[in-house]
Structure 1
Amino acid sequence: MEEAPPPPIDQESVNDGRALVEREQRQGDVISPSRAVLTLSKSMFNAGCFSLPYAWKLGGLWVSFFMSFVICGFNWYGNHILVRSSQHLARKSERSALDYGHFAKKVCDYSDLRLLRNNSKAVMYIVNVTILFYQLGMCSVAILFISDNMVNLIGDHLGSTRQEQMLVAATISLVLVAITNMFTEMRVVSFFALVSAVFFMLGLLVIMQYTVRQPNKWAELPAYSDFTGTIMMIGMCMYAFEGQTMILPIENKLEHPEYFLARFGVLPTTMLVCGAFMTALGFYGYTGFGDAIAPAITTNVPKEGLYSTVNVFLMLQTLLGHSVALYVVFDMFFNGFRRKFTNRFPNCPKMLVDKGFRFFWVLVTYFMAIGIPHLEIMIPLVGVTSGTLCGLVYPPLFEMITFWTDWKGLLTYRQRMAKIVWNCFVIAIGLFTIVAGVYSNFVAIFQSFENPDVPQAA
């Protein structure tokens, strides 16, 4: 059996002072670069993608087209500097890997500011709560997506009103997602991602071929919309790149972590493929159906013949994708929970602790889904808050703190100021998006309670 080629030398890591110790090949529950690309792509190719045509309707055709590339670029940048900073601190602290919360703690622990060092645990808790809300939001969207498509197929058998139908469908979904979340190893989760990707591609191909055969309406569609619609569109597009919180868990399980940021490595490959697919889906979906586009494009596809299988394929891929998203929560919180719980209840079986912890969080996502049963509201709300924090605010902030001392010794004053100004600009955009997005989404939520059977984001 041939040995794997040596990992590429990251010249950039040498230039910014990160090459402190040589990283060894990881052992145990690890995955290959191709499996990492597949798992990360699957975490982005999920239920949120099928709401992108609706997001383009909210933002206007050409504004949405332009913003798709901008949002992809910002997410790529945030993910890149997040991994660079994490790998640097992992080497500095002589640890093989860091999850997002412990990475935030190490950022503060190694900072020159006493205020940050004294409050490193508080920062870790803030980051963990952000990621928790983000992952739970994604999982609740998955349940909503499954329920929405189930109602589209067999809604007449589930109840007389839309609210009753969604409640019954969500309860059925709860049983199914609970089963898929009972598995623990990354290898199993990545296998789910593989199977899920197959279902996703089958469903996407059928939807795309149907969409491109529709009379194209691009000349009739508005180029832009109002401020609220644009902000909602940004939130939905940010949500579509829902893999931000899977970045570090996947990098931590990569056999050769140097392959993650390599020129044709895991992150560049994933971002290019996902960005191209998402832009194509948004453009052709919106120009194919125009103002008739639904919050999920799957409900614009006919229910008979081959097209009825599309809903089934995409429900299955979302079902498996739920376990991929919730893996982040288990990975971050389970060890600490188990340690404290077993100290207090030493006679409780370990399997009961494990499965009970998992089912509890699945149940939380179920209650979130039935609390706000509108995809067009839940998706931008999650994307514009936690998604923007994880993608545009935390990474540049943590990079500046992590490399502040290194930049003083390795960069000229002009280079250092350019990095600082750019990162502050990205943070400012993120904070503005959050404030505007929260306002727009709460307006939509209040309207949804007044008219529960009418989509409110339009």
Structure 2
Amino acid sequence: MGKTNKNEPSAPPLHSVMDNYSSKIELAYNGSREDLEPYVPSDHRPVASNTSSVGALAHLLKASLGSGVLAMPLAFKNAGLLVGAIGTAIIGFICAHTIHILVTTSQNLCVELKKPSLGYAETCHLVFQNGPKPVRRYAPFVRELADWGLALIHAGACCVYVVVVAESFKQVSEEYGGPKWSVTAFCGLTLVVLVPLCQINKLKYLVPFSAIANFVWVGAIGISIYYCVRDPPKVTERNLATSITGIPNFISTSLFAMEGIGVVMPIENEMIKPAQFLGCPGVLNIAMVTVSLLYACVGFAGYLQYGDEVRGSLTLNLPQDEILAQSAKIMVACVMLLTFALIFYVPFDVVWRHLKHRVPARNHGWAVAGIRLVGTLLIVGIATAVPRLELFMELIGAILLSVMGLMLPAITETVFRWGKDLGPVYCVVFKNTIIVLFSLIAMVSGVVYSLKTMLEKL
């Protein structure tokens, strides 16, 4: 018999072998069980994602009921009372549907790729990246388009805020014997507040400003509605329908007012039960029905009261010789000053993400401060150069919101469902083609008529 080599390792005990074998079996079983069980994105989201359905509804309503509600009388001026009411319902339905398909696509993509949540730009990028081979090369372009599109939408909204603030303070100043400066001068004066305010670089420090703004905003809208329903003229004194040339501007202004595509994904990503965002009734449906009804009522009442004299913000039409009306103008101006920093965060974030890797870490603080300063000066400079509130809203709605709010969600859903489920007789392709054509018509016609109006008023 051979001798045993003392240097050879002894065989492991039998019980150790059996324990190891059992562990491997259990690990394999658990792994296969996880593969069989569907992935639920909300189960893997951070603990901080704890927004209830009621809270999500409140956030969505707060985000949708911004400065746009005061612009709806201008939209009705371009369409007429009857066409405006019907058109608001139609555009509200289209906006709700495009938001619905974007969120549905994002939720299904999260399940497929096993990701807890995705933003707008991430959803579009990953859909194209994992889509049919011919479209995969466009994934980086789509991500950049979504990123910069959202940035420009929010930067444009900031321009609108500057003009509203400037015109509001100009009216109040002239009424009470202040300097009779131009709107341009008052736009420049907003920098006194906006420059230090926009240096706040953490969202948590902006929460108190947002909370104060919400209460003040409700009061300002209430006062504006009061003046609209006080001694209104007869319906027969206003147009029920205008010429066809007014429809593009109606669509552009309505899209600017109603489309909240930039805030939808962040709200859905913070929900405890994201499945309740959609469905019937669902957070989205309740919010969009409420918004559409309120916007239609304000647009109808505002145009009925002020007719063709209606301005881009309803508060600018309020009487200049009544303290209550003046207080509403000051309230709206203060709200927009406080909200500017929050809206400005989006374009800053996009720019900083593209420049951060080029700046040494030790200089990040100075770079952030510099970018915020330059961004604030640029936005106020644009508002000063073209202090026409109506033109800002029409151009933003025509170009950016037609693409970001209508076209891109429709194209993204089509790419995602290509080769999977396009519905009977390709109804998804047919439906989304109509949405894309509608967005193209709205964009081209809106830009043409906006530029025409701009040239006429220069």
Flag whether TM exceeds 0.5 (same fold).
yes
Aligned residues: 418
Match of 1:354 among 362, 368, 390: 368
1:288-307 correspondence to structure 2 within 5 Å: 288-303=305-320, 304-307=322-325
| CA 248–358 in structure 1, closer or farther in 2 if over 3 Å, else same | farther
Q: Is 1:390 paired with 2:404?
A: yes
Give, as a single letter, the amino acid of the residue that structure 2 aligns with 1:400. T
Give, as a single letter, the amino acid of the residue that structure 2 aligns with 1:347. R
Match of 2:427 in 1: 418
CA offsets 1:132-165 (integer angstroms, 9 cap, x no match):
22111111111111111111111477754xxx52
Q: Does the CA contact (< 8 Å) of 2:252 and 2:395 recur in 1?
A: yes
Match of 1:145 in 2: 164
| CA 404–426 in structure 1, closer or farther in 2 if over 3 Å, else same | same
Structure 1 unmatched runs, 5+:
1-18, 450-458
CA offsets 1:395-431 (integer angstroms, 9 cap, x no match):
11101111223316xx5x34xx222211111111111
Give, as a single letter, the amino acid of the residue that structure 1 aligns with 2:214. A
Q: Distance in 2 between matches of 1:376 and 1:267?
A: 28
Give, as a single letter, the amino acid of the residue that structure 1 aligns with 2:361. P
Query: Aligned Cα RMSD in Å?
Result: 2.4
Match of 1:443 in 2: 452
Give, as a single letter, the amino acid of the residue that structure 2 aligns with 1:67. G
Q: Distance in 2 between matches of 1:292 and 1:352?
A: 47
Q: Does the CA contact (< 8 Å) of 1:105 and 1:124 recur in 2?
A: yes
Higher mean C-alpha deviation, range 78-87 or range 38-47: 38-47
Q: Does the CA contact (< 8 Å) of 1:182 and 1:358 recur in 2?
A: yes
Q: Is 1:37 paired with 2:46?
A: no
Q: Is 1:202 paired with 2:211?
A: no
Higher mean C-alpha deviation, range 199-208 or range 45-54: 45-54
Match of 1:326 among 316, 320, 344: 344
Q: Distance in 1 between matches of 2:173 and 2:148?
A: 37
Task: Give 1:35 shift.
Answer: 4.0
Match of 1:24 among 36, 40, 43: 43
Match of 1:127 among 124, 142, 146: 146
| CA 217–356 in structure 1, closer or farther in 2 if over 3 Å, else same | farther
Match of 1:372 in 2: 386
1:8-407 correspondence to structure 2 within 5 Å: 20-24=39-43, 26-27=45-46, 29-30=48-49, 32-33=51-52, 34-112=54-132, 114-155=133-174, 160=180, 164-185=181-202, 187=204, 192-303=209-320, 304-338=322-356, 340-342=357-359, 345-348=360-363, 350-407=364-421
Q: Distance in 2 between matches of 1:271 and 1:110?
A: 31
| CA 46–184 in structure 1, closer or farther in 2 if over 3 Å, else same | same
Q: Does the CA contact (< 8 Å) of 1:29 and 1:187 recur in 2?
A: no
Q: Does the CA contact (< 8 Å) of 2:149 and 2:400 recur in 1?
A: yes
Q: Does the CA contact (< 8 Å) of 1:381 and 1:438 recur in 2?
A: yes
Match of 1:432 in 2: 441
Structure number with larger C-alpha Rg: 2
Give, as a single letter, the amino acid of the residue that structure 1 aligns with 2:286. T
Q: Distance in 1 between matches of 2:59 and 2:308?
A: 34
Task: Give 1:288 shift.
Answer: 1.6
User: SS of the residue aligned with 1:171?
Assistant: helix
| CA 352–41 in structure 1, closer or farther in 2 if over 3 Å, else same | farther
| CA 312–35 in structure 1, closer or farther in 2 if over 3 Å, else same | farther
User: SS of the residue aligned with 1:32?
Assistant: coil
| CA 266–356 in structure 1, closer or farther in 2 if over 3 Å, else same | farther
User: SS of the residue aligned with 2:362?
Assistant: coil
Q: Distance in 1 between matches of 2:58 and 2:121?
A: 24
| CA 230–287 in structure 1, closer or farther in 2 if over 3 Å, else same | same
Task: Give 1:69 shift.
Answer: 0.5
Give, as a single letter, the amino acid of the residue that structure 1 aligns with 2:227. Y
Q: Does the CA contact (< 8 Å) of 1:155 and 1:165 recur in 2?
A: no
Identity %: 22
Q: Does the CA contact (< 8 Å) of 2:95 and 2:259 recur in 1?
A: no
Give, as a single letter, the amino acid of the residue that structure 1 aligns with 2:394. P
TM-score (norm: length of structure 1):
0.84
Q: Does the CA contact (< 8 Å) of 1:53 and 1:283 recur in 2?
A: yes
Structure 2 unmatched runs, 5+:
1-37
Give, as a single letter, the amino acid of the residue that structure 2 aligns with 1:83. V
